């Protein structure tokens, strides 16, 4: 029960941060969905840092990992919105932005996790 509470609290906090960040990033219907892109990349970087610190130092308890990694990062990032935004780009015939957004998100997201893992060595 405590584990579920940690995920619930972290997920709620992550979702609020995602909402606030995407509201501060101006988006329009004719450009890349920069709000979702931003939170997904930041979330990937944070997850890399969290996992790296945990692996390196065995520093984070299982409840802290559930709160930060599963809860916060899970609530902060969003695959479903990513999928809907890609579908919207396809439906509108904006194939260039679809390719840039879809593949850019995947490649930069993986790189962000790697950067987070790398920098966790110095923490």
Q: Is 22 annotated as a binding residue?
A: no
The string of DSSP codes covering the chain is -HHHHHHHHHHHHHHHHHHHHHHHS---TTS--HHHHHHHHHHHHHHHHHHHHHHHH--S-HHHHIIIIIIIIHHHS-HHHHHHHHHHHHHTT-HHHHHHHHHHHHHHHHHHHHHHHHHGGG-
Q: Is 77 annotated as a binding residue?
A: yes
Annotated binding site: 74, 77
Binding positions for Na(+) are: 74, 77
């Amino acid at each position: 029960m405590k584990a579920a509470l940690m995920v619930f609290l972290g997920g709620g906090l992550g979702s609020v941060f995602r909402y606030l960040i995407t509201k501060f990033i101006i988006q329009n219907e004719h450009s890349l969905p920069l709000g979702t892109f931003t939170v997904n990349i930041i979330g990937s970087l944070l997850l890399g840092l969290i996992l790296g610190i945990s692996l390196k130092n065995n520093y984070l308890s299982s409840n802290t990992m559930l709160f930060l990694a599963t809860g916060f990062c899970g609530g902060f990032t969003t695959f479903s919105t990513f999928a809907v935004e890609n579908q919207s780009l396809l439906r509108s015939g904006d194939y260039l932005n679809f390719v840039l957004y879809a593949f850019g998100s995947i490649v930069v997201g993986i790189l962000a996790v790697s950067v987070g893992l790398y920098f966790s060595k110095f923490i």
